[in-house]
Amino acid sequence: MQERGFSVVGLLAVLAVVAAIVDIGYQVIPIYNTESSVQSVFDSMVEHQASLSESEVKGKLREALEVEYINPDTDLPPEFFDNLVIVAQDGKLDLSTFYHEEAWLLGMPEAYNDPDLDEKDMQLSAWEQLQVKARLDFDFDISAHTP
């Protein structure tokens, strides 16, 4: 007689795969959600705030990001504002920036917390090498222009 169904080991394996997929989604979805919200803010700014000066746009941009539940100081890397280009002239507005985000699926290795160490000089254990290989890198280039 043949038995049907999952064994306990099979069920645990399926649950482990589902948990891994949920964990990856939990780390990656907020990164894309933030990028999408920033793009929406840029689009709205060029549509409705094109008459403002560059300094006024920068102030309004921070406010608009907060309205979208994005904390500019913690949810975006410093390079977001370092690379921010605002051109406001003749009633037209151009906004653009680019930045990099990382998702450490297995956690960040301790060596990466030391700002004095260069990545090439790090002596990583086998686990830390696996952590580095499980890192996802995202590069975003966001822009909006008044037609």
**Residue 133 near residue 105 (C-beta atoms within 8 A):** no
Q: What is the dihedral of CA 12, 15, 19, 20, to 10 degrees?
A: 70
pLDDT in the model for residue 70: 95
**Residue 14 near residue 6 (C-beta atoms within 8 A):** yes
Q: Give mean pLDDT, residues 35-44.
A: 96
Tens-place pLDDT, residues 85-118: 999 998 899 999 999 999 999 998 888 877 777 7
Dig out the tokens for 100 from the structure: 């990099």
Residue 131 has pLDDT above 70, yes or no: yes
| Per-chain mean pLDDT for the chain | 91
Proportion of the chain above pLDDT 70, given as a percent: 97
Helices 8-48 & 54-67 angle (0-180, nearest 10): 150
Residue type at 140 in one-letter notation: F
Contacts 24+ apart (CB under 8 A), 56-63: 57/86, 57/88, 57/93, 57/95, 58/84, 58/86, 61/86, 61/95
Instruction: Break the chain into its structural domains and give their ranges.
Output: 8-145
Determine phi and psi for 95, rounding to 5 degrees: -125, 135
pLDDT in the model for residue 130: 92
Dig out the tokens for 134 from the structure: 């499980």
